[in-house]
């Protein structure tokens, strides 16, 4: 018997069960435990089933959110999973790492008012995805094979999504991955305590079952060029999603001392190479007792929480603006605080100090105050003269962003780039080079997993149309999985 | 998986490998490297290719057993496999015609300069190669270099073979004869137009200190610690002319006169303690019979 709106309104938002902060900050197991069935049903019943679907429009991949919540509330997880997966190929991942508070949950009617709390769409998405992974033999129905080869460059969120969509439409998809393992930033960047590898592996396996080939150790731009893939290797179209680029450093003295890492290097060593198990795994990482991480985004949070788990007595986050301007997800900031991360806000490093043997021994910072808003609309931090102070530390991690990676783009004539070196695309995902499409961070700079996935999904639709037109095939609408 | 087809021990701790890696072989150019990972728990290490043959789909590596990974690799035989080989990586060597090109290789650094010899000869250069080691046993690729160079000098620190002294000492002699002309001087015979150099950091520094006063363009191939090899991590950053560069995408070859060698040398030692732990652990495992 469906609940009345009044009954639904009476249910408070259900808390995501978490492992205790002082236990979880010593290992790499997942922080969030996940909803139990009863919690999930209760939470799903909070949805008022609005007819205007604001949440769905707030979702970059357009999930029918009221639809799948209704199935959860009715206890029909199979239907919930099928509906979810029809729009989103990687729900176990997005349910964990999407900034729902800026998307679907932000526009939720239940978020309105002083005491309003949105429906926990992300937690419920994760719940359904995890249930499906354990209990459902998801045989995605594929459209009849077209025999057309399509290459996807990079196996991160954009590449995986695009590959899955194209496979559903009957195409012969090959993903080229530069590293030795699939997953891109999901594998090398996001730590296991936020996104366990088994979730990524399951999603990748599902793609393989759909016939997607994943070839690792191939660097497009070096091992093959884009032109070779098109002209010699028989690919009808290419989707470039080779991801974020070169780490930015601050250009301050002492940045090349031993013990200064980019967040990319620090996280890659720990996540991809499992350096936290050294010497069981061969890749080393320098574990600091006092670690300073510079930055205020999700990557900075991941780095500082990793440092804590690697045994740092003191893991400090240095950010030049105040908490309000922090780009990191609120949940990550909360989790970091619970785990004992120290926040030094409104200050910025001006020099890394070294010992005579070339190791970091501290970082000199200067305090900031917020001035007029800058281009990003956030108030610009202005250094306060004479406010310098020193933080003693043995590791410094720079998590202040990336710039474009020239490796593929420089080796690809005819590919129009913007002034920052990112690939220019039109509204459909097409680049200036015929047959070549792009999405994710190589287009956007630095964005989120879900925006990259949205790009992959959109480009897949464009690519499908492009190759069918090119080869004179009729448009085929793949049968829905149910 | 990448199969090792053939191996040859060149010295007590130096081994040559021919490995099936068709995609890498097809595109590889002189100066480029691969990153390999031996197995599931292995680290990623960069190694410059000594040669490659697109027809047979093979690449050649010359490896000196130093740390755990290279020592494990050293035990591999024909028929064994390497889990991952990624490449070719790095910018290829820029080859220009000059009257006289000198290649200087220290130890296994010779494997880095060896592929340049043929490319430079093909470009019309007179090629002199200097390959050196501490002692006779550590001089590698001399015979191979003779096939693709106009003159080859072997040097040993202890005088056990060839010229007694370092590669830099031999280069000093060569410069005395073949230095580029100063302003107003007539062009001498076989004036050295460029020096390519690879080997231990102190050796590369010594070579650059020698060539700098004569203004001889000197290209060095740097070997900093790397992880991904695609520009993503920045672990391989080096200071070139006061600017930070990433060896994996901006290099590995740089203007040797601009390199901050002290910083490079220092950063190369960042994991010394870890290397010892890994090596000791592996040696212990081998002793008790569980080592890979």
B89 and A222 within 8 Å at the Cβ level: the answer is yes
Mutate to test the interface with A, among B20, B222, B230 (most CBs of A within 10 A): B230
Structure tokens that stand for A329 in this block: 């997800």
The closest of A481, A482, A464 to A473, measured between CA atoms, is A464
pLDDT score at A480: 53
pLDDT score at B183: 66
A246 and B231 within 8 Å at the Cβ level: the answer is yes
A258 and B235 within 8 Å at the Cβ level: the answer is no
Q: If you ran DSSP here, which 8-state letter would residue A455 be given?
A: H
Q: What is the pLDDT of chain A when averaged over all its residues?
A: 92
Distances in whole angstroms, Cα of residue A331 to Cα of each of A31, A101, A198, A335: 11, 9, 22, 6
Distances in whole angstroms, Cα of residue A129 to Cα of each of A73, A134, A203, A387, A456: 15, 9, 10, 50, 20
Mutate to test the interface with B, among A201, A220, A222, A247 (most CBs of B within 10 A): A222
Residue-wise pLDDT tens digits, B171-215: 999 988 887 776 666 666 788 899 999 999 999 999 999 999 999
A262 and B234 within 8 Å at the Cβ level: the answer is yes
Q: Which fold has domain B2-89?
A: Elongation Factor Tu (Ef-tu); domain 3 (2.40.30)
Q: Does residue B224 surpass a pLDDT of 70?
A: yes
Residue-wise pLDDT tens digits, A296-350: 999 999 999 999 999 999 999 999 999 988 999 888 999 999 999 999 999 999 9
A283 and B43 within 8 Å at the Cβ level: the answer is yes
- Counting Cα atoms < 13 Å in the Cβ hemisphere of B32 gives 21
Name A277's Cβ contacts closer than 8 Å, sequence gap at least 6: none
Distance from CA of B133 to the nearest CA of A (A): 28
Q: Does residue A226 surpass a pLDDT of 90?
A: yes
B44 touches chain A (CB under 8 A): yes
Angle at B225 between CA B224 and CA B227, to 5 degrees: 135
Q: Does residue A479 surpass a pLDDT of 60?
A: no
Contact indicator for A191, A267 with CB cutoff of 8 Å: yes
- What is the pTM (predicted TM-score) of this model? 0.92
How far apart are alpha carbons B196 and B222 in whole angstroms? 11
Q: Does residue A258 surpass a pLDDT of 70?
A: yes
How far apart are alpha carbons A367 and A371 in whole angstroms? 13
Distances in whole angstroms, Cα of residue B55 to Cα of each of A317, B21, B52, B259: 53, 11, 9, 37
Chain B residue at shortest CA distance from A274 = B41
Angle at B237 between CA B267 and CA B115, to 5 degrees: 95
B82 touches chain A (CB under 8 A): no
Share above pLDDT 90 across residues of chain A, in percent, rounded to a whole number: 74
Distance from CA of B56 to the nearest CA of A (A): 16
Q: Does residue A481 surpass a pLDDT of 60?
A: no
Across the range B47-54, mean pLDDT stands at 94
How far apart are alpha carbons A432 and A430 in whole angstroms? 7
Of A255, A279, A407, the CB nearest to B230: A407
Strand, coil or helix: B133 = strand
Which residues of B fall within a CB distance of 8 Å from A405? 230-232, 249
- Per-residue confidence band for B245, with pLDDT thresholds at 50, 70 and 90: very high
Residue-wise pLDDT tens digits, A442-465: 999 988 888 899 899 999 999 999
ipTM confidence score: 0.93
pLDDT score at B11: 86
Query: Is-cis flag, bond preceding B126, omega within 30?
Result: no
How far apart are alpha carbons B107 and B122 in whole angstroms? 25
Across the range A147-162, mean pLDDT stands at 95
Q: Does residue A482 surpass a pLDDT of 50?
A: no
Mutate to test the interface with B, among A217, A278, A403 (most CBs of B within 10 A): A217
Which residues of B fall within a CB distance of 8 Å from A284? 43, 271, 274-275, 278
Residue bearing tokens 């200087």: B104
Distance from CA of B135 to the nearest CA of A (A): 31
Strand, coil or helix: A364 = strand
Residue-wise pLDDT tens digits, B101-147: 999 999 889 999 999 998 999 999 999 999 999 999 888 889 999 99
Structure tokens that stand for A478 in this block: 């793949």
Of A217, A223, A358, the CB nearest to B266: A358
Residue-wise pLDDT tens digits, A88-132: 888 999 999 888 888 899 999 998 888 889 999 999 999 999 998
B249 and A405 within 8 Å at the Cβ level: the answer is yes
Distance from CA of B261 to the nearest CA of A (A): 13
Q: What angle, 0 to 180 degrees and rounded to 10, lies between the N-to-C axes of helices A197-209 and A121-135?
A: 60
Share above pLDDT 70 across residues of chain A, in percent, rounded to a whole number: 98
Domain ranges of chain B: 2-89, 100-221
Of B41, B88, B244, the CB nearest to A280: B41
B237 touches chain A (CB under 8 A): yes
Q: Does residue B71 surpass a pLDDT of 90?
A: yes
Chain B residue at shortest CA distance from A220 = B87
Q: Do domains B2-89 and B100-221 have the same CATH topology?
A: no
The closest of B34, B39, B66, B35 to B51, measured between CA atoms, is B34
- CATH of span B100-221: 3.40.50.80
How far apart are alpha carbons A342 and A391 in whole angstroms? 12
Which residues of B fall within a CB distance of 8 Å from A273? 43-44, 227
């Amino acid at each position: 018997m469906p609940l009345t709106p009044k009954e639904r309104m009476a249910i408070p938002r259900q808390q995501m069960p978490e492992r205790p902060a002082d236990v979880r900050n010593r290992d790499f197991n997942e922080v969030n435990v996940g909803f139990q069935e009863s919690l999930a049903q209760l939470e799903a019943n909070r949805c008022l089933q609005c007819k205007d679907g604001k949440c769905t429009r707030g979702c970059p991949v357009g999930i029918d959110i009221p639809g799948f919540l209704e199935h959860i509330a009715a206890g029909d997880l199979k239907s919930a999973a099928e509906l979810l997966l029809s729009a989103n190929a990687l729900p176990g991942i997005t349910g964990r790492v999407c900034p729902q508070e800026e998307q679907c949950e932000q526009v939720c009617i239940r978020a309105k008012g002083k005491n309003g709390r949105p429906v926990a769409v992300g937690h419920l998405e994760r719940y359904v995805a995890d249930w499906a992974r354990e209990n459902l033999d998801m045989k995605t129905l594929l459209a009849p094979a077209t025999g057309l080869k399509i290459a996807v460059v990079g196996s991160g969120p954009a590449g995986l999504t695009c590959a899955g969509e194209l496979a559903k439409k009957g195409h012969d998809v090959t993903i080229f991955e530069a590293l030795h393992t699939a997953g891109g930033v999901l594998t090398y960047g996001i730590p296991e305590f936020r996104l366990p590898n088994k979730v990524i592996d399951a999603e990748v396996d599902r793609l393989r079952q759909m016939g997607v080939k994943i070839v690792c150790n191939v660097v497009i731009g070096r091992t093959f060029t884009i032109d070779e893939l098109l002209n010699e290797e028989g690919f009808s179209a290419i989707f470039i999603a080779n991801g974020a680029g070169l780490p930015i450093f601050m250009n301050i003295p002492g940045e090349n001392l031993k013990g200064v890492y980019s967040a990319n290097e620090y996280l890659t060593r720990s996540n991809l190479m499992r350096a936290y198990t050294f010497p069981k795994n061969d890749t080393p990482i320098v574990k600091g007792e006092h670690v300073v991480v510079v930055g205020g985004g999700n990557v900075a949070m991941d780095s500082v929480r990793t440092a804590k788990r690697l045994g740092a007595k003191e893991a400090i986050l240095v950010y030049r603006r105040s908490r309000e301007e922090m780009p990191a997800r609120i949940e990550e900031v909360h989790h970091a605080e619970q785990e004992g991360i120290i926040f030094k806000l409104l200050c910025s490093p001006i020099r890394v100090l070294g010992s005579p043997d070339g190791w970091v021994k501290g970082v000199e910072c200067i305090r900031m105050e917020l001035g007029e808003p800058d281009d990003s609309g956030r108030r610009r931090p202005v250094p306060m003269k004479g406010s310098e102070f020193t933080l003693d530390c043995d590791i410094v991690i720079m998590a202040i962003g990336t710039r474009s990676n020239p490796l593929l783009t420089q080796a690809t004539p005819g590919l129009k780039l913007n002034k920052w070196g990112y690939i220019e695309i039109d509204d459909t995902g097409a680049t200036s080079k015929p047959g070549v499409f792009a999405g994710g961070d190589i287009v956007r700079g630095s964005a989120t997993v879900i925006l990259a996935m949205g790009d992959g999904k959109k480009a897949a639709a464009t690519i499908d149309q492009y190759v069918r037109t090119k080869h004179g095939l009729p448009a085929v609408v793949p049968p829905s999985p149910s | 998986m990448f199969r090792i087809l053939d191996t040859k021990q060149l010295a007590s701790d130096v081994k040559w490998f021919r490995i099936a890696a068709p995609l890498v072989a097809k595109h590889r150019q002189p100066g480029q490297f691969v990153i390999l990972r031996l197995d599931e728990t292995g680290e990623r290490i960069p190694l410059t290719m000594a040669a490659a043959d697109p027809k047979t789909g093979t690449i050649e590596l010359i490896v000196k057993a130093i740390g755990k990974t290279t020592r494990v690799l050293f035990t591999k035989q024909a028929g064994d496999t390497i889990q991952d080989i990624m490449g070719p990586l790095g910018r290829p060597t820029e080859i220009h015609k000059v009257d006289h090109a000198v290649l200087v290789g220290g130890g296994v650094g010779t494997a880095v300069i060896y592929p340049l010899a043929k490319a430079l000869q093909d470009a019309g250069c007179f090629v002199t190669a200097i390959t050196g080691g501490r002692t006779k046993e550590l001089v590698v690729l001399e015979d191979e270099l003779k096939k693709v160079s106009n003159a080859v000098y072997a040097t040993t620190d202890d005088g056990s073979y060839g010229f007694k002294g370092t590669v830099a000492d031999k280069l000093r002699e060569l410069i005395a004869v073949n230095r580029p002309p100063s302003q107003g001087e007539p062009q001498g015979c076989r004036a050295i137009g460029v020096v390519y150099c690879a080997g231990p950091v102190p050796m590369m520094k010594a070579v650059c200190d020698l060539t700098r006063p004569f203004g001889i363009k000197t290209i060095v191939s740097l070997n900093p610690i790397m992880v991904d090899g695609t520009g993503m991590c920045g672990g391989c950053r080096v200071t070139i002319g006061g600017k930070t560069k990433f060896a994996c995408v901006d290099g590995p070859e740089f203007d040797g006169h601009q390199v901050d060698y002290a910083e490079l040398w220092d950063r190369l030692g960042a994991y010394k303690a870890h290397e010892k732990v890994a090596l000791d652990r592996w040696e212990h495992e081998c002793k008790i019979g569980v080592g890979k």
